[in-house]
Copies of this chain bind each other. A is one copy, B any other.
Amino acid sequence: MAVTTPQAGTKRVVIDRVEPQVDAGLYPVKRVVGELITVTADVLCDGHDMLRVVARYRRGSKGRWNEVAMTDQGNDRWGASFSVDEVGPWEYTVVAWVDHLLTWREGLRKKAAAGIVEEVDLLVGADHLRTVAERGSGSAARLLAEAAAFLEERSNLLQSRIDRALDAGVIQAVDRLPDRTNAVTLATPLQVWVDRKLAGFSAWYELFPRSATDNVHRHGTFRDVINRLPYVSRLGFDILYLPPIHPVGVTARKGKNNAVTAGPDDPGSPWAIGSKEGGHRGIHPQLGTLKDFRALVAAAKEAGLEIALDIAFQCSPDHPWVTEHPQWFVQRPDGSVQYAENPPKKYQDIYPLNFESPDWKALWEELRDIFLYWIAQGVTVFRVDNPHTKSFPFWDWVIAEVHHQDPTVIFLAEAFTRPRRMYRLAKGGFTQSYTYFTWRNTPAELQEYLTELTRGAPAEFFRPNFWPNTPDILHEDLQSGGRAAHVARFILASTLSSNYGIYGPVFELQESTPARPGSEEYLNSEKYEIHSWRLDETYSLAPLISAVNGIRRTNPALQSNRNLRFHSVDNNRLLCYSKSTDEGDNVILVCVNMDYQNGQSGWVEFSPAAVGLEQKLPFVVRDLLTGISYTWQDTWNYIALRPADVAAHIFVLETV
């Protein structure tokens, strides 16, 4: 431990344990525009001197600091809040100093109350006031100099001198001219990354463009997707996410239901990217042209939708890079290229990129340029396929690079992997993340998981995006639970998490046959074949989805996750939780029956007091799904939910 003499031993304040921070400032805290940052810190000084503490914050790392006073919350903890109103990097720090004048003034108050003010106490104060006056100018300086002289003048009555010292005008003038000579601050400011609002509140809809057809024998096109936009928009989604749109490989192409060999008409998996028609900048010819794609992006925007592309950094054996940049792949001694494997499993149709390539720099730059290329085509949302099979430092870098050019870009990490890897990707910059939601299948499991996500360390950097299904995941609950399970899982996803998505139209049409018993793969998966869907089936969940998305948009309580509270219920198949705005002017209570076979009833502990409101009993809750109002008399209230109905309530608390 090197021993060094500090530069300024007169600085006595120490600042410790500043929150919020992620791994001591190694990674930025995340917020969306308009959100609050509530800074707290231990601020300590020896003895009894009084402190001033401020939080400073700014967009970027160079401009002028904004400042907000922190207040003493007791036990040496100080706090203040500020809001961030612009997308991009922010930073904040804490500044603190001993305020001798304040110490003196508070001492004078106490001595005056005890009747023990001495002459010298007023002389000390006069010195303080004069020093402050010298820092100022104009009328404030004059006021303070006069006050100092008044305090020193023994012919004035003692009480009038004390009154002058404690005069509101003097205090105000003094507080505007603090002595920060011995102020201390953090060695390094703490980082914040601010995203646009869509990063924190979004509803995603995934569809296979080639299945946007009226006929399984005709490959769907971008033009078909344009025709589908009114439907997706009517359902109330914000983002339309497309699986990879690039040319599909031919070599080792998979057939229907992941068959090892494809039939002559099988279209292959869109994730087997690259053919002689192009790679990650190419468009699969059967989908249309770049012009068509740009038309889709524009039409989507018109319909209130953003197009999200799937970025999967892997190659089919036919990808142009395999011959153009052989050094980006692992070459084997027999001259072949290493395909993906997880022994004993082999995936011959996929060549992974080699992030240890000596040519890594060119590789990284090319991958970055792919993002920039699609951003240039109007895309600002990316769903990244399996990021946990590509280098973490690469993601840190590429997201920073892209955000440097356009801080509004949203990255969704599709990493279904171990928790610390998922969290690390989020720390490194991913805007949103897939989660374990699909595999949390009881009220207790969901409560535990959501508590970790919204109250634990991840709340500062990990934004969950809940999906009841994906093209890879048809959970057993959906297979066996039918419509009731689809309804419940949809309402859970869309109200527990401010960001959620579904893979349609299979979801709203409740397709739920697995590829084989015990599998989470869909039978006849769209990953390997073209489907054509009848969207107007009477059993479709489209009306419910549309209603819930409408409820999400009109109730700001549902647009955040930090505000999630669980409420006790005396039936362990029921899950009850609320979300409320900071101001308490919008409170939503959701109750879901997670028994998809049987009706369940119980008593839930919910009242305005449970969410911090002063509103008295009885109170009224209105179910936004049915419009029915209930007057609840007590803090424990009865609910009954049957799978044959929509087995959930989305109540709004009627405020008085």
Q: Identify the A interface with B (CB < 8 A).
A: 1-3, 5-6, 9-12, 14, 16-17, 23-25, 28, 42, 44-48, 61, 75-77, 89, 98, 106-108, 110-111, 113-114, 116, 119-120, 123-124, 126-127, 182, 191, 193, 332-334, 336, 341-344, 346, 352, 355-358, 360-361, 364, 387-394, 397, 400-401, 403-404, 418-421, 424, 427
Instruction: Select the residue from A1, A23, A25, A346 with max chain B CB neighbours within 10 A.
Output: A1
- A98: chain B residues at CB < 8 Å are 356
The docked-state distance in angstroms from the alpha carbon of A344 to that of B116 is 8
Given A123-B333, A332-B124, verify A391-B9 contact (CB < 8 Å): yes
What are 6 A-B residue pairs whose CB atoms fall within 8 Å in the complex?
A1-B89, A9-B355, A9-B361, A9-B393, A44-B421, A108-B343
CB distance from A50 to the nearest CB of B (A): 11
- B388 x A46 contact (CB < 8 A): yes
Complex Cα distance, B343 from A106, in Å, reads 8
Using A14-B393, A47-B388, A110-B344 as known contacts, list a sample of 18 further A-B pairs with CB atoms less than 8 Å apart, ordered by residue number in A.
A1-B61, A6-B397, A9-B361, A9-B394, A12-B391, A16-B23, A16-B424, A16-B427, A44-B424, A46-B391, A75-B420, A77-B420, A106-B343, A111-B343, A116-B344, A120-B332, A123-B334, A124-B333
Residues of chain B within 8 A of A106, CB atoms compared: 343
Q: B1–A46 contact, CB under 8 A? A: no
Q: Which of B16, B110, B127, B342 contacts A333 (CB 8 A)?
A: B127
Q: Which residue of B lies closest to A405 (CB)?
A: B3
In the complex, what residue of chain B is closest to A457 when comparing beta carbons?
B17
- CB-CB under 8 A for A46 and B361, given A10-B356, A419-B75: no
Instruction: Give complex CA distance A10, B388 in Å.
Output: 16
Known contacts A364-B9, A420-B44; A344 and B113 CB within 8 A of each other: yes
Q: Which residues of B have CB within 8 Å of A346?
A: 116
**CA A77 – CA B106 in complex, angstroms?**
52
CB-defined contacts of A24 to chain B, threshold 8 Å: 23-25
Complex CA–CA separation, A115 to B315 (angstroms): 28
Chain B residues whose C-beta falls within 8 Å of the C-beta of A119 in the assembled complex: 334
The 4 closest A-B pairs by CB, nearest first: A24-B24, A114-B344, A123-B333, A107-B343
Known: A1-B191, A23-B24. A46 touches B355 (CB 8 A): yes
A391–B6 Cα distance when bound, in Å, is 13
Q: Would B420 and A9 count as touching, CB distance under 8 A?
A: no
Check if A341 sits within 8 Å of B107, measured CB to CB: yes
Cα separation A42 to B114 with both chains bound (whole Å): 59
- Contacts A3-B400, A46-B392, A341-B107; A421 near B89 (Cβ below 8 A): no
Residue of B nearest to A360 (CB): B9
Query: Are B418 and A76 in contact (CB-based, < 8 A)?
Result: yes
Rounded to whole Å, the gap between the CB of A563 and the closest CB of chain B is 27
Which residues of B lie under 8 Å from residue A5 when comparing CB positions?
A: 361, 364, 397
In the complex formed, the residue of B with least CB distance to A357 is B10
Q: Given the complex, which residues of B lie within 8 Å of A107, measured CB to CB?
A: 341, 343
Contact: A12 with B355, CB < 8 Å?
yes
Q: Which residues of B contact A25 (CB under 8 A)?
A: 24
Q: Is the CB of A397 within 8 A of B46?
A: no
- Contact, CB under 8 Å: B393 / A11: yes
Residues of B within 8 A of A332 (CB): 120, 123-124
Residue among B9, B47, B390, B403 making CB contact with A1, cutoff 8 Å: B403
**A362–chain B nearest beta-carbon distance, Å:** 10
Whether A397 contacts B3 by the Cβ 8 Å rule is yes
Chain B residues contacting A114 (CB-CB under 8 Å) are 343-344
Most buried by B among A14, A25, A360: A14
Q: Tell me, rounded to whole Å, the shortest Cβ–Cβ distance linking A371 to chain B.
A: 13
Residue of B nearest to A18 (CB): B23
Q: How far is the CA of A5 from the CA of B398 in the complex (A)?
A: 10
Closest CB in chain B relative to A414 CB, distance in Å:
14
Query: How far does the alpha carbon of A388 sit from the alpha carbon of B120 in the complex, in Å?
Result: 27
A427 to B75, CA, bound (A): 18
CA gap between A17 and B1 in the complex, in Å: 22
Contact B420 A10 (CB under 8 A): no
Contacts A1-B404, A343-B106 given: A42-B420 contact, CB under 8 Å?
A: yes
Q: In the complex, are the beta carbons of A333 and B126 less than 8 A apart? A: yes
Residues of B within 8 A of A17 (CB): 23
In the complex, the chain B residue whose C-beta lies closest to that of A107 is B343
Across the interface, which residues of B come within 8 angstroms of A356, CB to CB? 10, 12, 98, 182
Task: Specify the chain B residue showing the minimal Cβ separation from A27.
Answer: B16
- Cβ of A223 to closest chain B Cβ, rounded Å: 38
A182 contacts which chain B residues (CB < 8 A)?
356
CA distance A10 to B1 in the complex (A): 33
Q: Is the CB of B343 within 8 A of A12?
A: no
Shortest A92–chain B CB gap in Å is 14
Q: How far is the CA of A42 from the CA of B344 in the complex (A)?
A: 27
Contacts of A390 in B (CB 8 A): 46-47
Taking the closest CB of chain B, its distance from the CB of A76, in whole angstroms, is: 4
Check A401/B3 contact, CB under 8 A, given A116-B344, A360-B10: yes
What residues on B are CB-neighbors of A427 within 8 Å? 16
Q: Smallest Cβ distance from A418 to chain B, in angstroms?
A: 6
Residues of B within 8 A of A123 (CB): 332-334
